[in-house]
Structure 1
Amino acid sequence: MESGPGGGAGSVRKRKSEPCRPAPGRGSAAAAAAWSGGAAGRIGLAVSLRLLNCLLVRTSFVPDEYWQALEVAHRLVFRYGYLTWEWTAGLRGSLFPLFFASIYQVLHLLSRDDVLWLIWLPRVAQALLSALADVKLYSFAERLEDGETAKWVCFCQLCSWFTWFCCTRTLTNTMETVLSTLALSYYPMEGSQPGSRLKYLALVALACLVRPTALIPWMPLMLHQLWKEPRKQHLLLHTYLPVGLVTLGGSLIMDRLFFGQWVVVQFNFLQFNVLHNLAAFYGSHPWHWYFSQGLPVILGPHLPFFLHGCFRAPARHGIFLVVILWTVAVYSMLSHKEFRFLYPVLPFCMLFCGHSLRQLNRWRRAACTFLLVANLLPALYTGLVHQRGTLDVMAYLQGLCQPTPSQASVLVLMPCHSTPHYSHLHCQLPLRFLECPPDLTGNAEYMDEADQFYADPQKWLREELPNATSLPTHVVFFNVLEQDLSSFLAAHGYTKAATFFHTHLPQGRTGSHVFVYERRQATAS
């Protein structure tokens, strides 16, 4: 696969080859052979693995993978659906959902907009982009060091459990990571072939349009380039400034068309998350959480190799360690913390893990076997088992769309946005769920609809469903609510219609199973 200057395998400087070493195992030997077999082999392996990855991830992670992407795209193309408060407040940019809207539009024009295509094709597209990022990470490591080191960097990348868990999801964090990795492949490093300033800056700009936080890990790299550049003023005025102005102008025009008014989403995002710290409404953690839990968890079995690689990597790699520590430190200053926020620094971590394997020599076989086995278990468990009930129940509700959705209605009594919406139904089935927009007025006594419901479920049901005509035909909830709802369900003729396993680790309002209760009209009072 060819790419721009310094970015692809075809442009890599020839280096002295090293003696072949015994392969660490049957699986990793095949992978090593594919990576060493040229660009076609690398692309084939990456695409095959990520498509398999896509098929073996059947669970949900966070609501944003639907509500910041697919639900918005579905509403744009098919003209029905629901937008969360973030979109009405102009907090999100339109580029990311427009990417999936283009996929939906093509399916619609081809009359292939079946619900399974709407669910799987966006994920396949994300998987292919992640495969491209895998190949580009190899290209960068090869340009920076040599093919042997690049091979182990990408071995670590491909067997990372958290990358497996996230890289095919339609999350802004996933697209941010993909674009940042592509940008990295063009980044100019001292002592290697020059990269392409315009290409890497354009990709960084796209990442920032998807998610403004993409600028955080790139700030040290851009300052590092500026410090090394002899013509600093030229770099600022003829590269950084034009790219920044074009990006901001493009964002303003695109969001003007999307929202119907002038909106600076980057400022709104900064104001909400940093200046007002309103994201803490959705949970807060201590300042050290990313250091004590976040980074160790997403690294998982790679953690000892990352630490070893930090000490054994060449000094010029110190800038990448600065990127990791800087990003974790900046995020640590915010109250609201999530594992996925650190996903974009994971490819930087893999550079150090690959250096570690490169240095292990006779212990490499055992290390690679450990990484494969230790990552396989959490990858398969989180991809196939943990938190799957909220997706399985949507497949059940799809059956209510036939012969006509007007005969059914659904009430989802779960924590906010636990399930997808019309992107996983693709029919105008009346569907109501608990809402939880944050209070933007500073009212200390504010309670969202979900909090009001969980404070007194019976009272909420009496007020919101006062008569038989307002009752839905189906009620969906986690099993932890069954006792609280049992009298209401029995009084109105509801019986259990389906049960779906969700998780072995129920917590708070999230139960181990999802229940569907159906109202039998013949027995309803």
Structure 2
Amino acid sequence: MSASPPTAEAPTERLLARAVLVLILGVGATLRVWLALTDDGIYWPDEVYQSLEPAHRLVFGYGMRAWEFIEGARNWALPALVAALFKLSAWVGLDGPRGYLGVTRSVFGLLGAASAWGSWRLARAHGASALAAGAGASLFALAAVPLYFAPRAMSENASAPAVVLGLALALAPGASRRAVLAGASLLGLSVLLRLQNGVFCVGLVGVLAARRDWRAAREALLVLAGWALVFGLLDKLTWGRWFHSARVYLDFNLVQGKAAAWGTAPFAYYGQVLLRSMGAVTLVALGLSLLAARRATGLFALAAAFFVLHALQPHKELRFLVPVLPLFAALAGVGLDSVLRALPPSPVRLALPLALVAMAGFSGLRVGLLTFGDVGQYEDVKPRASAWDDFGPVNRLLIAAGRLPDVCGLKVEAAHLAWTGGYSYFHRDVPLYAHNGPGRESGLFSHVLTVPGAVGGGEVVASEGPFVLVRLPYARCAPDPAWSSRLP
């Protein structure tokens, strides 16, 4: 169905709506940048080895290589984006890890704030008042889960603004030809950054066809086909075969089912985790989204299809839902608008949106208390451990090691390399060995990152939390022709 036209807003409501939008975007952006600059932890290795590390290799010439960038299971769009941020940081003198990582993580955080604005735009496009749309957008701008993931250099974060803004342009009832073409182009870009966003592309064409807007459906399909060619050409230029990364990725995950090696979960996993991490926000967003289904049928169907398709996959991670969360925030805004239209003019009409914003803000206040159990990671290993700064001390010692003038090789004994920041944090063109690498007596490295009980005869040169950086005596750092940059 087409969206209902926006209702006339009183001057007080317009002023309040403007203040709410500025508040949620300003606070949301500030919190995201603050988190970007204060946390060195890792939620999952992909946030380093699918983006930061290949980008470091592009810009600085060295870095660990995950299997995806050896066999070609990922395209180079996301690493190229991060590499551009690294290069820009170096140009302005921020050429150390603190500089280029701070810039990159802050930019990803600001992309999250842009996604919140996109939620507002999407709700407005479906007839929600500015105040209701702003209150709905607060569920993404201020809630705990979007804040937690925001600074992480992951494809979900990079693609989310393109998804929500693309749909805001292309799905708006009565959208101009230019808006449909621009929206479809943004969705095509989102697939370049994350293949799974193809669900939104198929859905867009389906929704336009269901509306019998055949011209818009044809033109959107042509634009998306053009972006598909860009995807294929990028793979051809970088991997030597058209659509190579998509073929390898789909074969690995859907045909061979190897992603299950990283864990499987039941269909209800996402709902259970969202209720643990931000229960009130989840329940209210769900209820308001159901109320919005009649007015924003196409948008609701798209969001629901994305959610269900991910819930049906055996391997699940909460981050996979990041691109769809702004859509549910927009639907919440439309649903809230339906509630407000049913109410007579009264203070309640203003109080309800403000209560929604307050609820989102309260969820955001809890973000620092999130555990891995809350975000659905390592549930069988350390569910009560803080989800923040996991292996952050190791990464800070990697930065310290990279600054030492006499380091000519480093072995990380205290953690698996995949759960560290690699060369993106170490930033020194010398061999970096895994915990199962050569022994200390090999003379192939000068320093080890270990725990206090394993110092041996070395000298502790730095410490952080439960880890120490140790200089080994008589290290020769002999050349090692067997060293490999492949991530173990």
Residue from 323, 328, 340 that aligns with 1:349: 328
Answer whether contact 2:170 2:181 (CA < 8 A) is retained.
no
Q: Which amino acid aligns with 2:96?
A: D
CA distance in 2, matches of 1:423, 1:170: 12
1:114-166 Cα deviation digits (max 9, x unpaired): 22211111112222333322223212222322212112112222221111111
Deviation of residue 418 (structure 1)?
0.5
Structure 2 residue aligned with 1:392: 393
Residue from 138, 142, 148 that aligns with 2:120: 138
Q: Structure 2 matches for 1:413-452, cutoff 5 A?
A: 413-415=414-416, 417-433=418-434
CA distance in 1, matches of 2:388, 2:464: 10
CA distance in 2, matches of 1:14, 1:104: 43
Matched, 1:17 2:2: no
CA distance in 1, matches of 2:13, 2:225: 50
Q: Structure 2 matches for 1:95-244, cutoff 5 A?
A: 95-144=77-126, 145-190=128-173, 196-231=179-214, 234-235=215-216, 237-240=218-221, 242-244=222-224
Answer whether contact 2:97 2:424 (CA < 8 A) is retained.
yes
CA distance in 2, matches of 1:402, 1:192: 55
Deviation of residue 45 (structure 1)?
6.1
1:44-64 Cα deviation digits (max 9, x unpaired): 666545434534555322111
1:245–1:345: structure 2 CA closer, same or farther, 3 Å change rule?
closer
Deviation of residue 432 (structure 1)?
1.5
CA distance in 1, matches of 2:448, 2:403: 15
CA distance in 2, matches of 1:407, 1:328: 48
Matched, 1:475 2:482: no
1:46-103 Cα deviation digits (max 9, x unpaired): 6545434534555322111111111111101111111111111110011111011122
- Percent identity over the alignment is 21
Structure 2 residue aligned with 1:449: none
Answer whether contact 2:458 2:473 (CA < 8 A) is retained.
no
RMSD across aligned positions (CA):
3.6
CA distance in 1, matches of 2:185, 2:314: 31
Structure 2 residue aligned with 1:81: 63
CA distance in 2, matches of 1:236, 1:222: 5
CA distance in 2, matches of 1:135, 1:366: 19
Structure 2 residue aligned with 1:377: 366
Q: Which amino acid aligns with 2:158?
A: M
Structure 2 residue aligned with 1:454: none
Structure 2 residue aligned with 1:304: 283
Scaled by the length of structure 2, the TM-score of the pair is: 0.80
1:19–1:78: structure 2 CA closer, same or farther, 3 Å change rule?
closer
Matched, 1:516 2:457: no
SS in 2 for 1:186: helix
1:444-480 Cα deviation digits (max 9, x unpaired): xxxxxxxxxxxxxxxx68xx42845257631336xxx
Answer whether contact 1:164 1:379 (CA < 8 A) is retained.
no
Q: Which amino acid aligns with 2:260?
A: A
Answer whether contact 2:412 2:450 (CA < 8 A) is retained.
yes
Scaled by the length of structure 1, the TM-score of the pair is: 0.75
Q: Which amino acid aligns with 2:191?
A: C
Answer whether contact 2:236 2:244 (CA < 8 A) is retained.
no
1:120–1:250: structure 2 CA closer, same or farther, 3 Å change rule?
same
Residue from 313, 327, 338 that aligns with 2:292: 313
Q: Which amino acid aligns with 1:315?
A: R
CA distance in 2, matches of 1:129, 1:363: 28
CA distance in 1, matches of 2:268, 2:283: 19
Answer whether contact 1:174 1:343 (CA < 8 A) is retained.
yes
Q: How many residues align?
A: 449
Q: Which amino acid aligns with 2:132?
A: T
Residue from 19, 29, 37 that aligns with 1:34: 19
Structure 2 residue aligned with 1:287: 267
Deviation of residue 405 (structure 1)?
4.8
SS in 2 for 1:308: helix
Q: Larger deviation: 140-149 or 51-60?
A: 51-60
SS in 2 for 1:394: helix
SS in 2 for 1:516: strand
SS in 2 for 1:316: coil
Matched, 1:264 2:265: no
Deviation of residue 334 (structure 1)?
1.9
1:382-425 Cα deviation digits (max 9, x unpaired): 69963414223222232223442544522244345101111112
Answer whether contact 1:183 1:203 (CA < 8 A) is retained.
yes
1:394–1:69: structure 2 CA closer, same or farther, 3 Å change rule?
same
Structure 1 residue runs of 5 or longer lacking an equivalent are 1-12, 24-28, 435-459, 502-513
1:282–1:20: structure 2 CA closer, same or farther, 3 Å change rule?
same
SS in 2 for 1:185: helix
Matched, 1:277 2:261: no
SS in 1 for 2:443: helix
1:481-501 Cα deviation digits (max 9, x unpaired): x9xxx6xx47x5358776645
1:390–1:469: structure 2 CA closer, same or farther, 3 Å change rule?
same
Q: Which amino acid aligns with 2:457?
A: G
Q: Which amino acid aligns with 2:325?
A: L
CA distance in 2, matches of 1:116, 1:80: 18
Q: Which amino acid aligns with 1:397?
A: L
Matched, 1:54 2:55: no
Deviation of residue 353 (structure 1)?
3.3
Q: Larger deviation: 141-150 or 277-286?
A: 141-150
Answer whether contact 2:51 2:153 (CA < 8 A) is retained.
yes
